[in-house]
């Protein structure tokens, strides 16, 4: 049996949509449909009910899904064994598909990949940019080996999430913006922040969503002007141009703060956001993926670290408190 058919079937089953499955598999929808039909013909079973809004597994499809995932898992192990035995001289080799949000992809993962190329040149890292919901779905279909989630709480029945690090957050503006002239002794409070313009990361970014919720709570009749982007670079550029403020991971703006292109806004203190390492509970962790997980902590702040300089530069207000 062609395991490509099984991979297509499991992807369709997890997404519930032929178009979404085609996008994840980098195929055209007609190819996905043809592969599902070919598998149904080979097995002599109808695996999906076709509905106007997508596809739903039949009873037989549910039974086949578990077995198909087991076959794909066995294939992954077989490829790893073959790679290890293929004259690599004991070196760890293989491909690891890793996903993370743009916050981490831009700030943390380039250093990780560079380090792995030096220590394990036989490991190929395929890096994807995904938010939490997309990454969890891709872990379930086997499209990903590992994912990094920016979530303080991450609980899934089939996905194991382990806290890896804490990313400090910082509210930034242009050095010419009035908010930059405030001091830790006279910081900006939530009521004042609610009157500013903001450029935030797209909906689904956990720390941006949480900040916006608090901001709207503090508005009390004021309507902050909020623009959300799928690109951190666009948000940074708008802030640097003096158009408003943004809450971003310090790692994404460290260079701009050091060179003076951006300034930190003295005001409420925001809790660090947790970085969770996620993997499917039932899937085997290949030697290449294990090597990557060993290297990961070296590219993040320690999980329990307290950054004194960050504490000193902000007012003694906790996130969620108002001035």
Mean per-residue pLDDT over the chain, rounded: 86
Indicate the pTM of the whole model.
Answer: 0.73
Contact 315, 184 (CB under 8 A): yes
Contact 40, 1 (CB under 8 A): no
- Taking each helix axis from N to C end, the angle separating 18-25 and 29-43, rounded to the nearest 10 degrees, works out to 100
pLDDT at 280: 92
Please say if the pLDDT value at position 130 is more than 60.
Answer: yes
- Per DSSP, 183 falls in state B
Please say if the pLDDT value at position 86 is more than 60.
Answer: no
| Beta strands at 263-264 and 169-173: parallel, antiparallel or unpaired | antiparallel
pLDDT at 85: 58
Q: What is the DSSP string of 275-291?
A: EEEEEETTS---HHHHH
Nearest Cα neighbor of 231 from 106, 99, 97 is: 106
pLDDT at 90: 61
Please state, in angstroms and as integers, the Cα–Cα distance from residue 298 to each residue in 62, 109, 113, 303, following that order: 41, 11, 12, 11
pLDDT mean over 261-267: 93
Please say if the pLDDT value at position 16 is more than 90.
Answer: no
Please say if the pLDDT value at position 84 is more than 60.
Answer: no
Q: What is the biggest distance separating any 2 CA atoms in the chain, rounded to whole angstroms?
A: 74
Q: What is the DSSP string of 29-69?
A: HHHHHHHHHHHHHHHTS--EEEETTEEEE-HHHHHHHHHHH
Pick 217 or 167 by higher pLDDT.
167
First to last CA, the chain: 65
Q: What is the DSSP string of 103-157?
A: HHHHHTHHHHHHHHHHH-TTEEEEEEE--HHHHHHHHHHTS-SEEEEE-S----S
- Which domains, ranges and CATH numbers included, belong to the chain? 1-86 (1.10.10.10), 167-272 (3.40.190.290)
Tally of CB atoms within 10 A around 176: 11
Please say if the pLDDT value at position 307 is more than 80.
Answer: no
Chain segment 276-296, per-residue pLDDT in tens: 999 998 888 888 899 999 999
Chain segment 96-109, per-residue pLDDT in tens: 999 999 999 989 99
Q: What is the length of the chain?
A: 323
Pick 313 or 162 by higher pLDDT.
162
């Amino acid at each position: 049996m062609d395991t490509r058919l099984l991979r297509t079937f499991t992807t369709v089953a997890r997404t519930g949509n032929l178009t979404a499955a085609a996008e994840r598999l980098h195929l055209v929808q007609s190819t996905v449909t043809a592969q599902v039909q070919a598998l149904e013909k080979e097995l002599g079973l109808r695996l999906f009910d076709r509905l106007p809004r997508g596809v739903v597994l039949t009873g037989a499809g549910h039974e086949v899904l578990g077995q198909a995932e087991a076959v794909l898992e066995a294939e992954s192990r077989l490829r790893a064994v073959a790679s290890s035995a293929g004259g690599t001289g004991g070196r760890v080799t293989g491909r690891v598909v890793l996903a993370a949000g743009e916050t981490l992809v831009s700030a943390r993962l380039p250093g990780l990949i560079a380090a792995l190329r030096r220590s394990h040149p036989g490991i190929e890292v395929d890096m994807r940019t995904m938010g939490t919901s997309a990454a969890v779905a891709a872990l379930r279909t086997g499209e990903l080996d590992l994912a990094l989630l920016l979530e303080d709480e991450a609980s899934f029945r089939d996905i194991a999430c382990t806290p890896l690090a804490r990313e400090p957050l910082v509210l930034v503006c242009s050095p010419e913006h009035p908010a930059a002239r405030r001091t830790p002794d006279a910081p900006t409070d939530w009521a004042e922040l609610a009157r500013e313009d903001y450029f935030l990361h797209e909906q689904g970014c956990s720390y941006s969503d949480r900040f916006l919720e608090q901001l709207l709570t503090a508005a009390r009749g004021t309507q902050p002007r909020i623009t959300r982007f799928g690109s951190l670079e666009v948000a940074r550029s708008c802030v640097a141009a003096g158009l408003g403020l943004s809450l971003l991971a310090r790692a994404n703006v460290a260079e701009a703060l050091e060179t003076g292109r951006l300034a930190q806004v003295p005001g409420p203190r925001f809790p660090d956001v947790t970085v969770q390492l996620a993997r499917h509970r039932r899937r085997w962790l290949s030697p290449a993926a294990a090597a990557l997980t060993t290297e990961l902590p070296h590219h993040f702040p320690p999980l329990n670290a307290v950054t004194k300089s960050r504490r000193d530069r902000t007012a003694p207000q906790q996130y969620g408190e108002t001035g």
